[in-house]
Amino acid sequence: AQSVSQHNHHVILSEAASLELGCNYSYGGTVNLFWYVQYPGQHLQLLLKYFSGDPLVKGIKGFEAEFIKSKFSFNLRKPSVQWSDTAEYFCAVNANLPGLGRGSTLGRLYFGRGTQLTVWP
């Protein structure tokens, strides 16, 4: 079944530690990839996105992600986390599902289950 997998449910780090959150998807065809963040009490915000071109994308607040097509992965990284990065992180995919025709999944994001990141000061 098509899905988006985030490998870590909860990650706990100390400030200044490096972060890598895994995301794998199982959709074929052309995909667009996103990482969203949900800070406590706030709404989902876009961290970064990949549509095409350079597979290494940079987002806000020092985050970056690398699209590896052969591994169906889009891992999120940050070299040095801060206490303010404590939040829930969601990987999302927008894809044209093969066989369903153009536009079959327009406006639809498939989300991973999320990773709760806790950063200790």
For the chain, the DSSP string reads: ---EEES-SEEEEETT--EEE-EEE---S-EEEEEEEE-TTS--EEEEEE-SS-SEEE-GGG-EEEEEGGGTEEEEEESS--GGG-EEEEEEEEE--TTS-TTTTTT--EE---EEEEEE-
- Residue in 75, 90, 115, 119 binding other proteins, rule: CB under 8 A: 90
Residues 99-118: x where in contact with other proteins by CB under 8 A, - otherwise, as a string: ----xxxxxxxxxxxx----
In the complex, least distance from residue 69 CB atom to other proteins, rounded to whole angstroms:
16
Residues 19-58: x where in contact with other proteins by CB under 8 A, - otherwise, as a string: -----------x-x-x-x-----xxxxx--x-x-------
Distance, in Å, from the CA atom of 95 to the CA atom of 47, rounded to the nearest integer, reads 19
In the complex, least distance from residue 67 CB atom to other proteins, rounded to whole angstroms:
13
- Residue in 81, 95, 117, 119 binding other proteins, rule: CB under 8 A: 95
Measured from the CB atom, is 106 or 121 closer to other proteins?
Answer: 106
Task: Provide the β-strand partners of residue 50.
Answer: 33
Applying CB under 8 A, which residues contact other proteins?
Answer: 30, 32, 34, 36, 42-46, 49, 51, 90, 92, 94-96, 103-114
